[in-house]
Amino acid sequence: MTILNETHDPSRRSFVETANVAGCDFPIQNLPFGVFSTKDGGPRGGVAIGDMIVDMKAANAAGLFSAVAQDAAKAVAKPTLNELMAMKPAKLSALRRELSDLLRSDGLHRAEATKVLVPMRNAELMMPATIGGFTDFFTSIDHVRRATSVLRPDAPLPPAFKNLPMAYNGRASSIVASGGPVIRPHGQQGRKDGTSSFAATRMLDYELEVGIYVGEGNELGRPVPLHEARDRIFGLCLLNDWSARDIQRFESFPLGPFLGKCFATTVSPWIVTAEALAPFRVPARARDAGDPPLHDYLSDSTDQSEGGFDIALTASLQTAAMRAKGDAPAPISKTNLAALYWSCAQMVTHHASNGCNLQPGDLLGTGTLSGPTDESRACMLELTTGGKQPLVLPNGETRTWLEDGDEVVFHGRCNRDGAVPFGFGECRGLIAPAVTI
């Protein structure tokens, strides 16, 4: 059962007035963590509030936290959040309460708090953690059905799909924060005669996903029971699993995706914590009639009743021509994290079920979050049926795949009756031309 506390109180407002404006991603009920740098200071952690960042290094120096929250507050001030992520939920919760108290409109220390705010526009947002392991799941049944039928017309739903949350190891080194480089990759593309060409990809795609940061880790050889898995989730971000479909198609049998993916992965820099997301929990997706029985290790009643998250997600595309004319990015995918066939906790438990040690700061991608409707197709592969049916943009331009100069922007919003809506900030990436090699 989800516990809510005063930090979720919808009536609470912040003295940072931009946090109270309808549509703001960072009201006082959110308080996501990130890492930033400024002209006058290197990477350190912060908390987003309205259009400002609480500089946690400065906040610590100013003595704004009590003994109860100090360990966590100090961990946020570091250049990566890994140490914070390793902490037990009670410590994180103590910090959240003090942050909320510090930033509320009727807080006692408003003057001192004001001094440690940095305008977000003056900050560079960076990777929030050192990611030891990046694992990408494949847990939307609608994506799997559509993508499988496009890439391999003869292939059925993968046999394991309904038995376990499928995944593969991704590449951590090429994960960049929103706005980081996305360079069109070279790679081999198969020909019918068994040979291949080596060229810049012609089938560049985005994949709209959510990233799950692992909190407390588990020792090698010690699985994580499902009832503990929820507390191992530190928080969520937006994740664009850029894909070069021609490279992916040629290389990936039987070892799975490799160079078709690992040229770049973009994440939103703010991590929305599990505690902030508590009001947006929903039942996990019901299994279909006739599905194979759920294994005990992947089943418990809490996960079934509130293992999902209601998070609306959009991908928008802005071409170079649109940018030149000042046209806003056009929404091309509208979906929801609740579409997942497997819950985030099930992913954690399955990943550790063989004894694999997850570590604080590990990142799990959900896989492309497509839903059943046409508008919820969450990558070009689905939207254009593998490049066969061009997508028509509002200005009349068409796209089968992404072109140089295209920028893809993701947003995520939590919005439920009785709660203050909030968001994830942006996850954006602009396609740069291939490098000549």
C-alpha closest to that of 14 among 132, 81, 113: 113
In the stretch 211-250, what mask flags binding to a copy of itself with x, by CB under 8 A? ---------xxxx-x------------------x--x--x
Site of tokens 């409707």? 373
Q: Does 433 bind a copy of itself (CB under 8 A)?
A: no
Please tell me whether residue 354 binds a copy of itself under the rule CB under 8 A: yes
What residues between 356 and 385 interact with a copy of itself by CB under 8 A? 356-359, 362
Minimum distance of a copy of itself from residue 199's CB (angstroms):
10
153 binds a copy of itself (CB under 8 A): no
| Number of residues in the chain | 437
Q: Scanning residues 161 to 200, which ones bind a copy of itself (CB under 8 A)? A: 163-164, 166-174, 176, 181, 183, 185-188, 190, 194-196, 198
Which of 98, 407 has the CB closer to a copy of itself?
407
Name the residue with tokens 């000042």.
326
Q: What are phi and psi of 176, to 5 degrees?
A: -125, 155
Told to judge if 143 belongs to the known catalytic residues of this protein, a careful annotator would answer yes
- The Cα 425–Cα 418 span in angstroms is 22
Tell me the Cα Rg of the chain.
21
Cα–Cα distance, 366 to 144 (Å, whole number): 12
Pick the closer one to a copy of itself by CB: 158 or 394. 158
299 sits near a copy of itself (criterion: CB under 8 A): no
Choosing from 296, 324, 326, 396, the residue that interacts with a copy of itself (CB under 8 A) is 296
**How far, in Å, CA of 6 to CA of 192, rounded?**
62
Structure tokens at 21: 């404006």
Nearest distance from C-beta of residue 194 to a copy of itself, angstroms: 6
Least spacing, CB of residue 259 vs a copy of itself, in Å: 4
> What one-character DSSP code corresponds to residue 265?
E
**How many alpha carbons fall within 13 Å on the CB side of residue 302?**
13
Q: Give the nearer residue to a copy of itself in terms of CB position, either 132 or 390.
A: 132
Looking up tokens 């994180």, which residue turns up? 92
Q: Which is nearer to a copy of itself, 76 or 229 (CB)?
A: 229
Tell me the two tokens of residue 186.
Answer: 């070279």
Residues 413-432 that bind a copy of itself (CB under 8 A): 432
Could you say whether residue 79 binds a copy of itself (CB under 8 A)? Answer: no
**Site for a copy of itself contains 16 (CB under 8 A):** no
Instruction: By CB under 8 A, name the one of 251, 275, 306, 407 that touches a copy of itself.
Output: 251
Q: Which residues of 416-435 are buried (b: 16+ CB within 10 A; e: fewer)?
A: eeebbbbbbbbbbbbbeeee
Q: Does 400 bind a copy of itself (CB under 8 A)?
A: no
Q: What is the DSSP pairing of strand 208-214 with strand 233-240? A: antiparallel
Pick the catalytic residue from 8, 143, 351, 411: 143
Least Å from the CB of residue 49 to a copy of itself: 31
Select the span of 29-37, 74-82, 270-278, 290-298 touching a copy of itself (CB under 8 A). 290-298
Helix (H, G, I), strand (E, B) or coil at 172: coil
Alpha carbons 22 and 113: distance in angstroms, whole number: 23
Place of tokens 């997508």: 391
The least distance separating a copy of itself from the CB of residue 281, rounded to whole angstroms, comes to: 26
Within 8 A by CB and 6+ apart from 411, the residues are 238, 313, 314, 316, 423, 424, 426, 427
User: CB-wise, 110 or 171, nearer to a copy of itself?
Assistant: 171
Query: Is residue 254 a contact residue for a copy of itself (CB under 8 A)?
Result: yes
Toward a copy of itself, which CB reaches closer, 157 or 328? Answer: 157
DSSP character string of 48-76 = EETTEEEEHHHHHHTT-S-HHHHHHHHHH
How many residues form the binding site for a copy of itself (CB under 8 A)? Answer: 71
Q: Draw the binding track, 258-287, toward a copy of itself (x: CB under 8 A; -: no contact).
A: xxx-xxx-----------------------
The nearer residue to a copy of itself, 164 or 391, going by C-beta atoms, is 164
Tokens 């990015």 locate to 329
Residue 176 Cβ vs a copy of itself, minimum distance, rounded to whole Å: 7
Choices 21-29, 41-49, 69-77, 132-140 (CB under 8 A): range interacting with a copy of itself: 132-140
Neighbours of 324 (CB within 10 A): 9
Tell me the closest approach of the beta carbon of residue 262 to a copy of itself, in angstroms.
5
Among 90, 108, 328, 435, binds a copy of itself (CB under 8 A): 435
Classified as helix, coil or strand, 186 is strand
Residue 38 interacts with a copy of itself (CB under 8 A): yes or no: no
* CA pair distance 334, 331, nearest whole angstrom: 7
Active site residues: 143
